[in-house]
């Protein structure tokens, strides 16, 4: 009898076809998010799962899924996994690192440019029929070229963002839990600074840290007051690394010029006050959303699941003790 797996959200047909070569596959192609109770019910007899960030895999769920051996995220993030609980239950957990770095870095630059140059604000104004002609002071924005770009979190995506800054002749500063090697710093044309200096000097600060208890509200009211007056904040990392309520207040006061956000606390139920602000660019968690990248993400997760259930050695294992 072949192992049974659940695909918790809609994926590409090629992903389902690949999994069907090895498993009996149940798939939620209706793409309606499963409640915790529904997820537990559908995983009760499954050996593996292809999951997304909205699927919480924790001790209460695992207690109801005695056969589960692997949970494979279609994401580089994995804050939906309780890795300790997974390890204790012998459940292998995996993610999809490296697949989405370039696409996310590209999108970060889309947010930087759209925010600095007030693209969405001016487009909405034009669509509303308010444009009556050219004016010298119309929608004055901020230059990106020759500005100082600050990067908080200098992993693969942060480094990709830094390399793209060369085309804008920017000064690039970064802060990280660990300083990069001199060779990597040189390749990124980036200088390491302390957190306070990063906040004080950045014209544009972009965040590329994973979400965890250690990074919860790493940018809060205190940090926002330390930022350079008129600076721009970009977050294409994870909701929760920014205190959204504090950010809204900073944007209202004009302490910050603007923000570009692809992620939010409690998404998709973002703070409705964001919708009242003109100096914020909002997108619905689509930084990795190109067809090529999303197909690679799904297939990488599927390959992790196949390896986990056939060899016990998935390539992107997050909890080796499992």
Q: Active site residue: 26, 88, 249, 267, which one?
A: 267
| 291 noted as active-site residue | no
Q: Active site residue: 156, 201, 285, 295, which one?
A: 285
| 14 noted as active-site residue | no
Within 13 Å of residue 304, how many CA atoms lie on the same side as its CB? 29
Q: What is the pLDDT of residue 78?
A: 94
**Cβ contacts of residue 315 below 8 Å, gap of 6+?**
94, 303, 304, 307
Q: What is the pLDDT of residue 1?
A: 87
Q: How far is CA 74 from CA 78, 100, 101, in A?
A: 9, 11, 14
H-helix or E-strand containing 186?
helix 182-188
| 216 noted as active-site residue | no
Q: In CATH, what number does 4-99+291-310 get?
A: 3.40.50.720
Q: Which CATH number does the domain 101-282 belong to among 3.40.50.720, 3.40.630.10, 3.90.550.10, 1.10.3210.10?
A: 3.40.50.720
Asked if the domains at 4-99+291-310 and 101-282 fall in one CATH topology, the answer is yes
Q: Active site residue: 238, 265, 294, 303, which one?
A: 238
**In the chain, where the domains are located:** 4-99+291-310, 101-282
**pLDDT tens digits, the chain, 322 residues: what are they?**
899 999 999 999 999 999 999 999 999 999 999 999 999 999 999 999 999 999 999 999 999 999 999 999 999 999 999 999 999 999 999 999 999 999 999 999 999 999 999 999 999 999 999 999 999 999 999 999 999 999 999 999 999 999 999 999 999 999 999 999 999 999 999 999 999 999 999 999 999 999 999 999 999 999 999 999 999 999 999 999 999 999 999 999 999 999 999 999 999 999 999 999 999 999 999 999 999 999 999 999 999 999 999 999 999 999 999 9
Q: Would you say 230 and 204 are in contact if contact means Cβ atoms under 8 Å apart?
A: no
How many C-beta atoms lie closer than 10 Å to residue 176's C-beta? Answer: 17
């Amino acid at each position: 009898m072949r192992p049974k797996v659940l695909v918790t959200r809609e994926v590409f047909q090629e992903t389902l076809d690949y999994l069907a070569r090895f498993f009996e596959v149940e798939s939620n192609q209706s793409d309606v998010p499963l409640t915790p109770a529904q997820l537990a019910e559908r995983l009760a007899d499954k050996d593996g799962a292809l999951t997304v960030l909205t699927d919480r895999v924790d001790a209460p769920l695992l207690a109801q899924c005695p056969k589960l051996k692997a949970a494979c995220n279609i994401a580089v993030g994995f804050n939906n996994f309780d890795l300790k609980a997974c390890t204790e239950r012998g459940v292998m957990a995996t993610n999809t690192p490296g697949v989405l770095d370039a696409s996310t870095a590209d999108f970060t630059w889309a947010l930087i440019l759209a925010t600095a140059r007030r693209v969405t604000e001016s487009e909405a104004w034009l669509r509303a029929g308010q444009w009556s002609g050219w004016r010298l002071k119309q929608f004055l924005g901020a230059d990106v070229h020759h500005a100082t770009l600050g990067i908080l979190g200098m992993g693969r995506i942060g480094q990709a963002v830094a390399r793209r800054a060369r085309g804008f002749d920017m000064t690039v500063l970064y802060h990280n839990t660990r300083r990069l090697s001199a060779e990597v710093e040189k390749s990124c044309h980036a200088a390491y600074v302390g957190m306070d200096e990063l906040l004080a000097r950045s014209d544009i600060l972009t965040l590329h840290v994973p979400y965890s208890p250690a990074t919860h509200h790493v940018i809060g009211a205190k940090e926002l007051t330390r930022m350079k007056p008129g600076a721009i904040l970009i977050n294409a990392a994870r909701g929760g690394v920014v205190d959204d309520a504090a950010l809204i207040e900073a944007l209202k006061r004009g302490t910050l010029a603007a923000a570009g956000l692809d992620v939010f606390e409690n998404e998709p139920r973002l703070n409705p006050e964001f919708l009242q602000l003109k100096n914020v660019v909002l997108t619905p968690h689509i930084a990795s959303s190109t067809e090529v990248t999303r197909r690679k993400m799904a297939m990488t997760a599927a390959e992790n699941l196949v390896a986990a259930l056939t060899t016990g050695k998935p390539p992107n294992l997050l909890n080796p003790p499992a």
